[in-house]
Amino acid sequence: MRILGISAFYHDSAAALVVDGRVVAAAQEERFTRKKHDPSFPSNAVRYCLEASRGKLSEIDFVVFYDKPFLKFERLLETYVAMAPKGFRSFQLAIPLWLKEKLFQKSLLRKKLGEFGDIAADRLLFAEHHLSHAASAFFPSPFENAVVLTMDGVGEWATTSAAIGEGSRLEIFQEIHFPHSLGLLYSALTYYTGFKVNSGEYKVMGLAPYGEPKYAKLILDHLIDLKPDGSFRLDMSYFDYCTGLTMTNERFAKLFGQPVRTPDKLLTPFHMDVAASIQAVLDETVLRLTRSLASRTGARNLCLAGGVALNCVANGKILRDGKFDKIWIQPAAGDAGGAVGAALSAYHQFKGRPRIAAASDGMSGAFLGPEFSQGEIEQRLASAGARFSVVSEQEMIETTAKALADQLAVGWFQGRMEFGPRSLGARSILGDPRSPTMQKNPKSEGQISRELSALRASGPARGCRQLVRAYLRQSLYASRGRRQKRKATYDDGGGRSSVRNRQTQCRALGGSSGDAYRLFRADPDRQPRDQSFVSSFADAIQGAHWMSCAGQHQLQRARRADCLHARRRLPLLHGQRARSARGRQLCASQAGSRPRAPAGL
- The whole-number pLDDT of residue 360 equals 77
Cα distance between the two ends of the chain:
29
- The whole-number pLDDT of residue 503 equals 39
Question: DSSP 3-state assignment of 45?
Answer: helix
Contact 456, 519 (CB under 8 A): yes
pLDDT band at 133 (very low <50, low <70, confident <90, very high): very high
- The whole-number pLDDT of residue 558 equals 28
For a pLDDT cut of 90, what percent of the chain falls above it? Answer: 55
**Both 386 and 268 in a single domain?**
no
Q: Alpha-carbon distance 438 to 441, whole Å? A: 5
**Both 349 and 493 in a single domain?**
no
- The whole-number pLDDT of residue 246 equals 92
Classify residue 370: in a domain, yes or no. no
Q: Alpha-carbon distance 413 to 410, whole Å? A: 10
Classify residue 36: in a domain, yes or no. yes
Which region holds residue 516: left if phi is over 0, alpha if psi is between -120 and 50, else beta?
A: beta
36 has which bridge partners?
A: none
Cis peptide before 85 (omega within 30 of 0): yes
Residue 112: which H helix or E strand, with range? Answer: helix 105-113
Contact 130, 158 (CB under 8 A): yes
Nearest alpha carbon to residue 290 among 235, 334, 327: 327
Task: For residues 226-243, give the mean pLDDT.
Answer: 95
29 has which bridge partners?
A: none
Residue 280: which H helix or E strand, with range? Answer: helix 269-297
Task: For residues 331-354, give the mean pLDDT.
Answer: 95
pLDDT at position 548 over 60: no
Which region holds residue 36: left if phi is over 0, alpha if psi is between -120 and 50, else beta?
A: beta
Cis peptide before 179 (omega within 30 of 0): yes
For a pLDDT cut of 70, what percent of the chain falls above it? Answer: 75
**Both 394 and 491 in a single domain?**
yes
Contact 13, 38 (CB under 8 A): yes
Residue 298: which H helix or E strand, with range? Answer: none
- The whole-number pLDDT of residue 341 equals 97
Q: Alpha-carbon distance 469 to 527, whole Å? A: 15
Question: DSSP 3-state assignment of 185?
Answer: helix
Average pLDDT value for the chain:
79
- The whole-number pLDDT of residue 439 equals 60
Contact 341, 139 (CB under 8 A): yes
**Phi and psi at residue 513, to the nearest 5°:** -90, -20
Nearest alpha carbon to residue 191 among 224, 235, 157, 153: 153
Q: Where is mean pLDDT largest: 92-96, 341-345, 557-561?
A: 341-345
- The whole-number pLDDT of residue 441 equals 59
**Both 185 and 232 in a single domain?**
yes
Classify residue 360: in a domain, yes or no. no
- The whole-number pLDDT of residue 178 equals 95
Nearest alpha carbon to residue 336 among 380, 314, 368, 361: 368
Which residues lie below 8 Å from residue 543, measured CB to CB, with a gap of 6+?
none
pLDDT in tens, 465-524: 334 434 545 554 443 334 444 334 334 444 444 444 443 333 333 333 344 455 555 666
Nearest alpha carbon to residue 151 among 377, 3, 307, 350: 307
Q: What is the domain count for the chain?
A: 3
pLDDT band at 430 (very low <50, low <70, confident <90, very high): confident
- The whole-number pLDDT of residue 523 equals 66
DSSP for residue 242: T
pLDDT band at 550 (very low <50, low <70, confident <90, very high): very low
Burial of 262: CB neighbours in 10 Å, binned 0-12, 13-18, 19+:
exposed
**Both 392 and 306 in a single domain?**
no
199 CB neighbour count, 10 Å cutoff = 14
pLDDT band at 311 (very low <50, low <70, confident <90, very high): very high
Asked which of 66-75, 86-95, 178-187, 558-567 is least confident by mean pLDDT, the reply is: 558-567
Q: What is the domain range of residue 60?
A: 1-139+336-355
**Both 287 and 193 in a single domain?**
yes
Task: For residues 296-304, give the mean pLDDT.
Answer: 96
pLDDT in tens, 272-291: 999 999 999 999 999 999 99
pLDDT in tens, 3-16: 999 999 988 999 99
**Both 249 and 346 in a single domain?**
no
pLDDT band at 542 (very low <50, low <70, confident <90, very high): low
- The whole-number pLDDT of residue 561 equals 30
H/E/C letters for each residue in 544-574? CCCCCCCCCCCCCCCCCCCCCCCCCCCCCCC
Classify residue 365: in a domain, yes or no. no
Degrees, nearest 5: CA angle 230-232-238: 145
Cis peptide before 331 (omega within 30 of 0): no
pLDDT in tens, 440-458: 654 444 443 333 233 333 3
Classify residue 436: in a domain, yes or no. yes
- The whole-number pLDDT of residue 511 equals 37
- The whole-number pLDDT of residue 243 equals 84
Nearest alpha carbon to residue 12 among 199, 188, 268: 199
Residue 67: which H helix or E strand, with range? Answer: none
Q: Alpha-carbon distance 201 to 190, whole Å? A: 6
- The whole-number pLDDT of residue 524 equals 67
Question: DSSP 3-state assignment of 163?
Answer: strand
Classify residue 281: in a domain, yes or no. yes
**Phi and psi at residue 516, to the nearest 5°:** -120, 135
Q: Alpha-carbon distance 67 to 129, whole Å? A: 4
pLDDT band at 381 (very low <50, low <70, confident <90, very high): very high
Nearest alpha carbon to residue 519 among 595, 440, 428, 423: 423
Classify residue 488: in a domain, yes or no. yes
Nearest alpha carbon to residue 535 among 508, 571, 574: 574
- The whole-number pLDDT of residue 308 equals 96
**Both 184 and 291 in a single domain?**
yes
309-467-66-63 Cα dihedral, nearest 10 degrees: 160
CA within 13 Å, CB half, 351? 21
Contact 503, 514 (CB under 8 A): yes
DSSP for residue 350: I
pLDDT at position 206 over 60: yes
- The whole-number pLDDT of residue 209 equals 92
**Both 134 and 224 in a single domain?**
no
Q: Alpha-carbon distance 179 to 305, whole Å? A: 19
pLDDT in tens, 112-122: 999 999 889 89
pLDDT at position 581 over 90: no
pLDDT band at 569 (very low <50, low <70, confident <90, very high): very low
Q: Alpha-carbon distance 87 to 110, whole Å? A: 33
Classify residue 366: in a domain, yes or no. no
- The whole-number pLDDT of residue 471 equals 52
- The whole-number pLDDT of residue 563 equals 33
- The whole-number pLDDT of residue 518 equals 55
**Both 121 and 264 in a single domain?**
no
Higher-pLDDT residue of 335, 485: 335
Nearest alpha carbon to residue 27 among 60, 1, 5: 5
Q: Alpha-carbon distance 92 to 78, whole Å? A: 15
**Both 598 and 468 in a single domain?**
yes
99 CB neighbour count, 10 Å cutoff = 11
**Both 492 and 583 in a single domain?**
yes
Nearest alpha carbon to residue 167 among 600, 597, 463: 597
Burial of 525: CB neighbours in 10 Å, binned 0-12, 13-18, 19+:
exposed
- The whole-number pLDDT of residue 179 equals 94
Question: DSSP 3-state assignment of 327?
Answer: strand
- The whole-number pLDDT of residue 508 equals 31
